[in-house]
Copies of this chain bind each other. A is one copy, B any other.
Amino acid sequence: MAENQIRKTAEKPLTSAMEDYLEAIFDLDQDKKFVRVRDIAKKMAVKMPSVTSMLKTLNERNLVNYEKYEYVELTEQGADIGREIRQRHEVIRKFLTEILKIDFKTADEDACRMEHALSPVTLESLADFMEFIQICPMGGDRMNLFEEYRKQQAEKTEKNH
């Protein structure tokens, strides 16, 4: 069962932009029945021609099935990548909100950039860390201490203003 032959064929690596599009399409695919250019454009905060253009690229790379004026579908390979990026995003955001206490919006935006920056080993370690924390939590006390510490820091920063 050679099931991890999936992403091997010595392809050029994906750009961050390509990964972002695949993630967006993967997300939309779960919410809505059909994925269209309009929706992708909205989600990515770009104009439609940018989407069309990227879809051509992704189509050539067999990551989406795309034909003019038709709904967009991820190929199996494309879905695998979209899902992976999605998971990265979630692990990172969880870390940012739960450990570093960053507000959701900022955490989400940061995660969106960080998901392309972490090497696989780092991502894996972060995922383990988050799992570990869940199983064996830092304990209420401990995190409260960190929160207090943060507040003190914030006050100091105020003064330096």
CA distance A128 to B121 in the complex (A): 24
Query: Chain B residues with Cβ under 8 A from A136's Cβ?
Result: 142, 145, 149
Q: Is A100's CB under 8 angstroms from B122's CB? A: yes
Q: Does A113 contact B (CB under 8 A)?
A: yes
Name the distance in Å between A109's Cβ and chain B's nearest Cβ.
7
A99-B129, A145-B136 are known contacts. Are A122 and B150 too (CB-CB below 8 A)?
Answer: no
* Stoichiometry, copies per complex: 2
B145 touches A121 (CB 8 A): no
A129 touching B100 in the complex, CB below 8 Å, given contacts A122-B106, A136-B145, A145-B136: yes
Number of interface residues of A (CB under 8 A): 35
Residues of B within 8 A of A150 (CB): 125, 128, 132
> A47-72, CB under 8 A of B: which get 1 and which 0?
00000000000000000000000000
Contact A106 B119 (CB under 8 A): yes
Q: How near does chain B come to A19, taking the closest CB pair, in angstroms?
A: 13
Cβ-based interface call for A161 (8 A): yes
Q: Is A17 an interface residue (CB 8 A)?
A: no
Interface residue? A118 (CB, 8 A)? yes
Give the residue of B109, B117, B131, B146 whose beta carbon is less than 8 angstroms from that of A132. Answer: B146
Interface string of A119-153 (1 = CB under 8 A from B): 10110111011011001100000100110011001
